Chains A and B, each alone.
Chain A
Amino acid sequence: MSVLVFIDHADGQIKKSSLEALCYGAKIAEQLNIAAEGILLGTVSDNLADLGKYGAKKVHQVSNDSLNQLDSQSYTKIIAEAVHASGAKVIIFSNNISGKAIAPRLSARLKAGLVSGAIALPDTANGFNVKKTVFSGKAFANIALNTDVKIISLNPNSYKVSAGSGGAAEVVALNAVVDAPKIKVAGVTKTSGEVPLTEAEIVVSGGRGLKGPENWGMIEELAKLLHAATACSRPVADAHWRPHNEHVGQTGIAIAPNLYIAIGISGAIQHLAGVNRSKVIVVINKDPEAPFFKAADYGIVGDAFEVVPKLIDAVKKLKGVV
């Protein structure tokens, strides 16, 4: 019996969201008094034995380069076999892009209940209940997993990564039949150098109050100084001032960074839905009546064009950048 954690990777590196999932899975394993194990499909440059620090006792790896491209169909087959072989009772994914593609398939294949978008450890006092966000972050639901094998996909930025004193994980080569993928990858475009929005700890976001795309220089500068990702409100993406993958909110991407800085955004209910799980919200808006202030922790009532350059200077000073 074990808790099996799916270790996701890109460009040869294990994703931070997978370390969150591993720490979360290790804690569940501790609760259930069983071992946490990882499974990695493909190859990475990280040393897998190091995952022991995050609580993995064992890491199963299928070292086949063809698996470095996600194909949810073949991935699911291999993971399902590993679940059978290792007798895993709980399977953990990050609810990131790969998790959203694989976890539902695995759930259907194993007839194992799935909670997607979990934000807390399961409550095992009475059954096995997992809290997740619903109504795009406007509420939470406690979901009971009623099956013997259970699958949880954990929302990114919901569980803290902490390296413990665990020894090296045992790395086990897994022999799996890898089907030829039915999906052929024709090309990848990366918005290089930027922090991916869903993994970012800090997000700097701009709205219609910024007047036009030519004014995003200061948003990007502030984001860069803070190692933050950039985001925007829906009308900004609709007007093509910014790419659509920056659109956050109920009909865009839902995020939960440690810090969300909203500049020139009114705070409409649909916008708030996607960002209100941020731990700290800062709002900069010239209108003191902007609804966003009600959802904010800190705010400045002022003109973004005056305030943001001053903020940039203050961050530079703090970071010792001149």
Chain B
Amino acid sequence: MKILICISKTPDTTAKIAFRDNNTKFVADGVQWIINPYDEWYALVRAIELKEKDPSTILHLVTVGIADADPIIRKALALGGDEAIRINADSQDSFYIAAQIAEIAKQGAYDLIFTGKETIDYNGSSVGGMLAELLDLPYISLATKFELNNLTATVTRQIEGGEETDEVNLPVVVSCQKGVAEQRIPNMKGIMSARTKPLKTVEPAAIEPLTSVVSFELPPAKAGVKLVSPDNPEELIQLLHEEAKVI
């Protein structure tokens, strides 16, 4: 069993969101970077659990990023995984990223490809689906449970107002969210061994991006809260009905 796990670097969830250069660039100064939580907590941890069950499983991590992504990849390797590949490019276009990962995936003959359900910075929720199409593989998105039985996966995914359980033969691309696994903290042994695990850098393939970021905006500030006395909640209902007109 060979599993490829897609890892993305994102700003910490508490990072201050600000832009510079005429609102065209994210202000990265002072920002702490983390592994995208969906990639780390669910995709990576589930892959590690599968390897714990079957130690012959090989886990490869892949990221598209420049050298400043290396600490994130090392942190991911500290949790688990055998080796990592960094495709040396910086892009905000999901297709560009998916197409780069597809090149790696084609060479690796993976049985299973895991992504997080989305990144918490660009919120595209696109790389997994694009990758599946480029590789002509089935895709199960927004998985909440993943079980493996030889070469068949049983995957539960979110649907509107419920869940659906699917069965699919490998290889398959799965995007993971809450429920698939539980967050883990790397231990000392993991951190030590991550230092010597192979982290390979490869140059990107020639791919044309399909989109580009023109500018960013911050949402307008709220006008301020209107407080209603706790002794008179009827007034709140009245305001919601007559003023805000939402009920």
Contacts and interface: CB of A to CB of B under 8 A. Distances in A.
Interface residues of B, number: 80
B107 interface: no
Contact of B161 (A196, A226, A270): A196
Interface residues of A, number: 102
B233 A300 contact: yes
A33 interface: no
A294 B162 contact: no
**Chain A contact residues, majority secondary structure:** mixed
A84 interface: no
A269 B14 CA distance: 6
Interface in B172-192: 178-179
Interface string A7-42: 000100001000000000000000000000000000
B203 interface: no
Given A101-B139, A198-B160, A276-B219, A311 B236 contact: yes
A169 interface: no
A277 B159 CA distance: 22
Given A116-B126, A300-B230, A314-B237, A105 B214 contact: no
Nearest to B162: A190
A280 interface: yes
Interface in A104-161: 104-109, 111-117, 127, 129, 131-147
B212 to A, nearest CB: 5
B90 interface: no
A189 B162 contact: yes
B187 to A, nearest CB: 21
Given A297-B222, A306-B230, A105 B130 contact: yes
A302 B230 contact: yes
A102 B130 CA distance: 9
A135 to B, nearest CB: 5
Interface stretch (B50-58, B64-72, B140-148): B140-148
Interface in A161-219: 182-191, 194-196, 198-199, 201-202
10 contacts: A72-B132, A104-B130, A108-B95, A139-B219, A140-B218, A142-B215, A237-B178, A251-B37, A251-B41, A297-B244
Given A105-B132, A117-B123, 19 more contacts: A72-B139, A100-B125, A104-B129, A108-B134, A135-B11, A136-B123, A139-B218, A142-B215, A182-B168, A184-B167, A188-B159, A251-B13, A251-B120, A273-B13, A282-B240, A314-B238, A317-B234, A317-B237, A318-B241
5 shortest interchain CB distances as A-B pairs:
A302-B230, A104-B129, A113-B210, A190-B162, A104-B126
